[in-house]
Amino acid sequence: MAKNNYLPFRAKILEKLKQTEIDWTYRLECSLKPVFGQFMEVSIPGVGECPISISDYGDGYMEMTIRNVGKVTEGIDQLDKDDFLYLRGPYGHGFPVEDFYNKHLIIAAGGTGLAPVKSVINYFYANQGLLKEFDILSGFKTPRDILFKSDLDKWAQAFKVEVTVDKTDEDNIETAVAVNPQTNTSSWPSKIGLITTLIPDLQIPLLEDTRVIIVGPPVMMKHTAHEFLRRGIAKENIWVSFERKMSCGLGKCGHCKIDETYVCLEGPVFNFIQAQNLLD
């Protein structure tokens, strides 16, 4: 009998970890081995379905970090350890990770954009000889919105990590101090200002051998890409990942289309040569 691609399978929530007031990381029982950057369609029967990036995976589990913004994600927010989510996928094209070997990799992630690249960062953390240099730039609205604080601390032991916030919120102003990797104090963010303000001062000694990943809201991706182009990075050495409204995830419904491009099938990860036309 032909496989029904719309049929989800049941996955138990093994752990639920709070990131912010509205973002939670769910560790789900699952033995799939996705490509870094792919997404799943996540559903609750009778409520609905939505696309969510795979933020990490390992032996017998998959992780997703989900922001409560509406009907389905509110339903997911109500669930707890030992409850079940329904999944289908993985879908889409991920990051060409092997192309980054022996290169200077720069990841610029805005807000929940850090979720789809977390598995890429963890891969290079576990295999530290594979890159020549690694910079991680991460921007959030306020200190309250910072995701993966303990991971950022861990990554800062091995790589250059900068976390910036657009603005501080008053009761958290004391957190706006520089991180000290030696003492491993969780004191993000280190800067105040848009993520684009971090790019002019970046050390990029190996221009031809530098690869850039940008993930975040479309306006952030557009301006961040332009800053890297200004620094001399070639368009073909930049990748972005899109979060479009989707329904089927399978190239059937057209919800995700930008002009003639099906983001669910051809993306969500695109080289900037193609993405530049989708961002305007």
* Positions in the binding site for ligand FES (CB under 6 A): 246-249, 251-256, 262, 264
Distance separating the N- and C-terminal Cα atoms of the chain: 44
The contact pattern for ligand FAD, residues 251-270, with x = CB under 6 A and - = no contact, is -----------------x--
Of 62 and 105, nearer to ligand FAD (C-beta) is 62
The contact pattern for ligand FAD, residues 24-43, with x = CB under 6 A and - = no contact, is ---------------x----
- Kindly identify the residues of this chain, within the stretch 141-200, that bind ligand FAD according to CB under 6 A: none
The contact pattern for ligand FAD, residues 210-249, with x = CB under 6 A and - = no contact, is ---------------------------------xxxx---
Which three-class secondary structure state does DSSP give residue 276? helix
Which residue, judged by CB position, is nearest to ligand FES in the bound state? 264
CB of 18 within 8 A of CB of 52?
no
Tell the residue number behind the tokens 């889409």, with chain if given: 92
Whole-number minimum distance, CB 198 to ligand FAD, in Å?
Answer: 23
CB of 151 within 8 A of CB of 124?
no
If phi > 0 it is left, if psi is from -120 to 50 it is alpha, else beta; for residue 267 that is beta
What does the alpha-carbon distance between residue 30 and residue 42 come to, in Å, rounded to a whole number? Answer: 13
* Angle (deg, nearest 10), helices 114-126 and 149-156: 40
Whole-number minimum distance, CB 221 to ligand FAD, in Å?
Answer: 13
Instruction: Identify what 253 binds: ligand FAD, ligand FES, none; CB under 5 to 8 Å per kind.
Output: ligand FES
Quote the DSSP letter at residue 113.
G
When asked if residue 10 is in the footprint of ligand FAD (CB under 6 A), the reply is no
Start-end of H helices in the chain: 71-77, 114-126, 149-156, 218-230, 263-266, 272-279
When asked if residue 115 is in the footprint of ligand FAD (CB under 6 A), the reply is yes
Which residue, judged by CB position, is nearest to ligand FAD in the bound state? 70
Whole-number minimum distance, CB 162 to ligand FES, in Å?
Answer: 34
According to DSSP, the residues that pair with 215 across neighbouring strands are 109, 241
CB of 114 within 8 A of CB of 148?
yes
Binding site for ligand FAD (CB under 6 A): 39, 48, 50-53, 64-67, 69-73, 112, 115, 243-246, 268
